[in-house]
Amino acid sequence: MKSRFLEWATGRGHDIVRYGPSFAASSAVLRALGLAAVPRFLDEAREVGVRDKEAWLYALVRSRRPERVVETGVCEGWSTAAMLKAMRANATGRLWSVDLPTYDPAGSVNADGRREGAVIPGGMEPGFEVPAYLRDRWTLRLGDARQVLPKLFDEVGPVDLFVHDSEHSHAHQRWEYELAWEYLRPLGILASDDTDWTPAFREFARLHDPAGHRTLDLGRRGLIGRPA
Ligand SMILES: C[S@@+](CC[C@H](N)C(=O)[O-])C[C@H]1O[C@@H](n2cnc3c(N)ncnc32)[C@H](O)[C@@H]1O
């Protein structure tokens, strides 16, 4: 079936895969990250009802078939549900999520003094959008990632994929990226949402992948692969 959104731009030195308005990557980087099949799984994400916002995570998990995934930032649970849905389709994988829920309708103010608007409606639990049939592969730890994440990594051991989406301050993003990098398996992937909030992701990428061969920068989101 021809993709509704995929348009391959090849020739004249270009080798860019585009998918909708927010996904454009060099096919060499996709290959280096083991993500050559991502366009097919972006289509599949739509077919199985994953929202466009989380389709990149669904496609990432379908493509790489990770055994162990850690994410920070759950809130309603859309990213969590998308990754669990992909794991169910893969028939393998386990997800550990960390969340410090915010219930104040005004949101919270992060370490950079910026307001973060991700709020859980009163009376609801973090991850309330995760359907019961997907929960058997999921462990949720509540608390501040600063306290919970180091212990969780020690317990879970090396992971295949880490996804940041908790506090989007500069120092916190850098801290999570650096910690997760230590616990990523060779060829594992560090992924981050909201990379446009601070310079942290691009600084981190320059440090750990100066040539950019293993970095996929999607503007608001990014991935960096650990070398073999
Ligand atoms: C942007 S939302 C996550 C959205 C979710 N990943 C998705 O895409 O569906 C960010 C979440 O991280 C939580 N959070 C903020 N600071 C945190 C911290 N220091 N540790 C853990 N979670 C935190 C927020 O309360 C909120 O629930």
Is the CA virtual torsion 88, 219, 215, 195 positive or negative? negative
**Could you give the percent of the chain with pLDDT greater than 90?**
86
Q: Kind and range of the H or E element at 139?
A: strand 138-142
Measured from the CB, is residue 26 less than 6 Å from ligand 1? Answer: no
Q: Is residue 182 scored above 90 in pLDDT?
A: yes
pLDDT mean over 54-77: 97
Q: All domains of the chain, ordered by start, with CATH?
A: 51-225 (3.40.50.150)
pLDDT (0 to 100) of residue 14? 53
Q: What is the pLDDT of residue 12?
A: 39
Q: Which of 52, 118, 53, 50 is nearest to 84 (CA)?
A: 50
Query: So what's the pLDDT on residue 8?
Result: 37
Query: 223 forms bridges with which residues in the sheet?
Result: 191, 216
CA nearest ligand 1 atom 24, residue: 101
How does residue 1 score in pLDDT terms, banded at 50, 70 and 90?
Answer: very low
What is the whole-number distance in angstroms between the Cα of residue 105 and the centre of ligand 1? Answer: 14
Which pLDDT score is estimated for 24?
Answer: 85
Whole-angstrom distance between the N-terminal and C-terminal Cα of the chain? 34
Contacts of 37 by beta carbon, 8 Å cutoff, 6+ apart: 62, 63
Does residue 216 register a pLDDT over 70?
A: yes
